[in-house]
Amino acid sequence: MNAEKNNNGAIKCLAFYLPQYHPIPENDLWWGKGFTEWTNVTKARPLFRGHRQPVFPADLGYYDLRVPEVREAQAKMAREHGVHGFIYYHYWFGNGKQLLERPLNEIVDMQAPDFPFCICWANQTWSGIWHGVPDKVLIKQEYPGDEDIVQHFDYLEKLFKDPRYIRVNGLPLFMIYDALDLPDSKQYTDQLRAEAVRRGLGGLYILASNITTDDWDFVQAGFDGRVSFAYHKVQYRLMRKSRQRLHKKLGRFFYRLFLDRSYRGVTRVDQRRIVKQVLFEEQEGDIYPMILPNWDNTPRSGQNGVVIENATPELFEVQIRKAVDYINCRNRSERLVILKSWNEWAEGNYVEPDSINGYAFLEVLKKWFG
């Protein structure tokens, strides 16, 4: 498969987008005045020899998503490099409580930038897990019932009716991050679709995110499709092996005593091994491949973090080639490749230009989807 054939096939690349780069009162309270994702990025330090931290954004700088020009620049950059649209993370915790909604609200209200989008409901409880305090609940994800679904749709309706909103089979694409967290997923998704019909939307195309395993029956659970688990399947297996080697090396006692204190206990996995082993298995239904350019969440979680080493643009292209071949093997409701992610900087998971790679990852995207 080459880039020319792929372009003719009209495969669309959708990129997860984190709207965290602006202060909110809750983060001020939990983490300190003015906290944003950049706070973690700038305080990062190398934790082992050859560890490239901190990282520095290039052309877009340490941006603030309250600034319309920033959002325009991101959309222009994405469009010019083959990204069809953004998947904005959407935080609805129940009973009308939202967080980080300002950038998307302004995008809808201002009708700019003129760039396709959809949303992923990030339906998870926020805790201090990445900061070493997993038992600290910051805000709990709740599902109060029918009234909350109606109230949720009072907000969602304006998004779904936006002319830029991405649709599949004529229906708004609504992604749910944690399908298994829903109280009764089949009943819940049926209620969501019924509410969409009641409001003249015709229904919803509901897509499960990339955290459910390949053997999960998404149709039985009420979903129209899901994002492939193939990459994580290999990554997590190699992570377990890495931690087992560390455990054996230190011994149980020293592992427990020193891992979080003096020993550099970061879990390290080689991208070369992951990409070589990734296999998008042939399965029934709408399953969309996910590509992941890089990962290093030590800015958030320190020595509890995971680093994917040797994450190069060349290996990113190998992933894309596998994903495109998978998309071309048979028909789906839509020809989508899911990019994780556009701008998750504190997880080292981004394609926006930095001071080392510049536009290299974006140029690979442009070659295949531009």
Question: Is the CB of residue 342 less than 8 Å from the CB of residue 351?
Answer: yes
pLDDT attached to residue 185? 97
**149-153 LR contacts (CB < 8 Å, sep 24+):** 149/188, 149/191, 149/192, 149/195, 150/195, 151/95, 151/96, 152/92, 153/192, 153/195, 153/196, 153/199
Q: Please give the sequence-ordered ranges of beta strands (E in DSSP) within the chain, or none if there are none.
A: 12-17, 83-94, 97-99, 117-121, 126-128, 133-139, 167-168, 171-176, 205-208, 225-227, 267-270, 286-288, 290-291, 295-296, 306-309, 336-339, 343-344, 349-350
CA–centroid distance for 300 within its chain: 16
Whether omega for the bond prior to residue 333 falls within 30 degrees of 0, making it cis, is no
pLDDT attached to residue 4? 37
pLDDT attached to residue 243? 76
Residue of 164, 156, 157 whose CA lies nearest to 112: 164
pTM score: 0.93
For the stretch 141-155, what's the b/e string if a residue is b when 16 or more beta carbons lie within 10 angstroms of its beta carbon?
bebeeeebbeebbee
What are the domain boundaries of the chain? 3-229+284-369
The CATH homologous superfamily for domain 3-229+284-369 is: Glycosidases (3.20.20.80)
d(CA 121, CA 119): 6
pLDDT attached to residue 262? 41
| Beta carbons within 8 Å of 55's beta carbon, 6+ residues apart | 41, 44, 345, 348, 354, 355, 356
Burial of 68 (0-12, 13-18, 19+ CB in 10 A): middle
pLDDT by residue for the chain (370 residues), tens only, comes to 444 343 335 899 999 999 999 999 999 999 999 999 999 999 999 999 999 999 999 999 999 999 999 999 999 999 999 999 999 999 999 999 999 999 999 999 999 999 999 999 999 999 876 565 667 899 999 999 999 999 999 999 999 999 999 999 999 999 999 999 999 999 999 999 999 999 999 999 999 999 999 889 999 999 999 999 999 999 999 998 877 766 565 555 454 544 444 444 799 999 999 999 999 988 889 999 999 999 999 999 998 899 999 999 999 999 999 999 999 998 899 999 999 999 999 999 999 999 999 999 999 999 999 8
Q: Which two tokens stand for residue 122?
A: 């990030």
Residues facing 118 on adjacent strands: 87
pLDDT attached to residue 214? 87
